[in-house]
Structures are given as structure tokens and as C-alpha cells.
Structure 1
């Protein structure tokens, strides 16, 4: 029986990607701004990066954080990710609530992958604070669902406020950024994976 409760291993996927690009730890450290010892600990699963640090590693390796997370897992035809199996990654953010941005780390800010291994779609659960500093543009379509709290999304030149139960659909290629508006916000992001070649319906 497949293990439904094991914590995901990120290091193997990072190491494979780095070696495929023929890069040393020192070169990745220079590109990412992270130290070589810390990167070595991540690759050997002795340290767990925050989502922000993982994004910096992904940028240095010309890939995405989602792809690095998927690369460290074996895909399964049927898979259950238990709610208490893996706490996910620290978002690595200062709290933007109450006293304003920079008021201190938000201990509730987490990012939890909901799909293990490389599949045709991926899903992430964001809990707690999330900033809007980084803009994203994905190759394929994406759906955002606000399970709790509220969020503000900038997409295609417009700003949208989403409350609990609201859904936002983004066509591939649309640049967007978002932030949580209140403590306890929980957002699910589900998207077609970037490696999938979407077929355009000729009927429009």
C-alpha cells in the first residue's frame, strides 16, 4: 500500500535539475542569493526551504517551484494527500496584517502541495498571509478558489476582490498577482501543468 502520510522530499528534484544544467552548488548559490551550505542541506533533505527560498532556487535553475516540488516525488495513478500528512512549506513572509507589512513573521503562512509527482495538473493550498510582490504568468489555465477569508487579485490590468466561496479563472498567459486580505485566509490554486501542450478548440 502506498504511504499516504510521508513528508515530501524536495532535495532530490533540485539536485537532478542542477546536475542536468551542469551547475555547481556555488553557481546556484550565486544565482539565488542563498548560501552553498544551505543549498547542500536542502539537496540532502536536512533542511526544508521556505516557499520564497524555493522560488529563488527555481529561478536560479530556470524552472518553477511547482516543478521542483513535483520532481522529488514519484507520480501515482491514485493518490491521497492526507490533511495531516505534510504541513507544507513556510511561506517565508512577514505578516501584512494589523500593524502593516513587516510587522513580524506570520506563523500561519504556509504553502501545501496537494498533488505529488509530475502530473497533467498541479494544486497548491495557501494558508495565512500571502504578498503580491511577485507576478506570475503560467503557460496554461489556472483556477483560484477562496476556501476561507478573502483575497485581492490583480489580473489583466484589473483588480478583483474575492470572498469565501468565490472562484477566479485565469486563461494561460495572463499575468497576475494576489494577496490575502485577512488572517486565516485559505486559497486553493489548481492549474494545468506547464509541460502540458494545451489544444485550442478550432471552433473557438
Structure 2
């Protein structure tokens, strides 16, 4: 009843805004992402919903992250409830945004396996929390195994990759938004 939005998240407008801000054509984004122009047009017009893999390809082509595109999909509001929908298990990994709109904080829940070859580097700080299962995170030349209830804090700029180490793994990722200029106090 009091929920801000009860309709599915539509990422098309966010993709179009980002593409236009970079002054790119659909053809350039298609070439960079390996996806077709008709498919990208359908995504921008919310006639097709991209898989997580496709959304990551689009985000890479637009020099951003899938999390940023999802966060920009809905306008910000001061109070918002994101309901957990019953999600049927699929062989494809899933990402569920936990905060909608353009805020200072982004949070997403990753369920299932994850592309271990994909490297991440966020501009600002990030926290990973393992809700279920286990993950292996490679950061700064070391591999860390995190189990249920474990957290890992990554300072902005740290390159890392991670993968699910057990079936039915759920990871919560909370990060300071990319559009925020985080200031770190440095000792003098």
C-alpha cells in the first residue's frame, strides 16, 4: 500500500540517458558490447529486459557498472521499500537492486554463481556481506574465502574479482555511489 513503486524496475531510460550523455550512437554501443542495435533499441524502450550478463556488457560499453544503471533506473525518493519477490531458482545468476534511484549509496543482492573472470574496480568504498553460501574474492594479489556472515571491506580503487564457491550463494554488496566524490582524510 505505502510502497513507493510496485512496478518492475525499468533500466531502458537510464541506458539511453547514459548513452546520450557520452554522445554515443546505438551502433557504437552495439559494437563495444557485442549486442545488436535492435536489441539495444528494445532495451532503451523497455520492450526487452536484458539479462545480467547483457546489462554488464552494456554497462562496460557505457563506461559504467550494471549497479549504476540499475540505480539510475528509478528517481530517488526519501522513503522507499524494496520488496523481496519470490524468485524461482535459475541457472543464470541474478542481481536484485536493494536501493532504487540516484542516492549516495547503492546496494545489490547477487544470487547464484558469478563471472569469476570479471574484474571490478569501484571508485568509492564497498562492503561485501555473504548472506548464504560462500565466495572467493581475489584482491591485491591474495585470495580470501568468505563464508556465511563474513564481510569484506574494499577501499575505493581496489581491483578485485569474486565467484560463488557454493551453490545458492547470496552476496550483499553495498557501495558509495560512483557519482559521489569521496574524500579520504590522509595523515599529514
TM-score (norm 1): 0.85
Structure 1 residue 203: Cα displacement? 5.1
Structure 1 residue 118: Cα displacement? 1.0
Query: Any idea what SS the aligned residue of 2:18 has?
Result: helix
- Counterpart mapping for 1:99-178 below 5 A: 106-107=91-92, 109-178=93-162
How many angstroms apart in 1 are the aligned matches of 2:65 and 2:53? 11
4+ residue runs over 3 A deviation: 1-4
Q: Which runs of 5+ in 1 are unaligned?
A: 91-104
How many angstroms apart in 2 are the aligned matches of 1:163 and 1:67? 27
Partners of 1:135 and 1:177 within 8 A in 2: yes
CA offsets 1:15-71 (integer angstroms, 9 cap, x no match): 112122222212211121100111011011111111221111112122222221122
Q: Indicate the RMSD between aligned Cα atoms, in angstroms.
A: 1.9
Q: Which runs of 5+ in 2 are unaligned?
A: none
Query: Any idea what SS the aligned residue of 1:23 has?
Result: coil
Partners of 1:5 and 1:84 within 8 A in 2: no
How many angstroms apart in 2 are the aligned matches of 1:20 and 1:140? 22
The aligned counterpart of 1:183 is 167
How many angstroms apart in 2 are the aligned matches of 1:18 and 1:202? 36
CA offsets 1:79-114 (integer angstroms, 9 cap, x no match): 1100018x5xx9xxxxxxxxxxxxxx714x211111
- Counterpart mapping for 1:1-204 below 5 A: 1-84=2-85, 106-107=91-92, 109-202=93-186
TM-score (norm 2): 0.92
CA offsets 1:128-163 (integer angstroms, 9 cap, x no match): 111211111111111111100111010111101111
Report how many aligned residue pairs link the two structures.
Answer: 186
